[in-house]
Amino acid sequence: MPVVETLSVEQARHRRAEVLASVGGDECDLRERAARYLLSAEELAALSELDELDFLLSE
């Protein structure tokens, strides 16, 4: 059975910072290279998680 991870706002923000740091910390560069489809699998996975966390945190 899949496990649901329940996050607080603080936990989501903390995780977002961790993910961004794992790919070098430059989100503009990451998104710019994503727009040109130049991301590695690990970078694409990180960007996917950043977008996911942004959605969860959105109001």
- Which CB atom, from 7 or from 25, has the smaller least distance to another protein? 7
Secondary element (H or E) of residue 24:
none
- What single-letter amino acid sits at 34? A
- What single-letter amino acid sits at 48? S
Q: 34 and 42 in contact (C-beta within 8 Å)?
A: no
The one among 20, 30, 39, 50 contacting another protein by CB under 8 A: 39
Residue 40 sits in the site that holds another protein (CB under 8 A): yes
SS3 21: helix
Residue 10 sits in the site that holds another protein (CB under 8 A): no
Q: Residue numbers of the site for another protein (CB under 8 A)?
A: 1-9, 12, 37-42, 44-46, 48-49, 52, 55-59
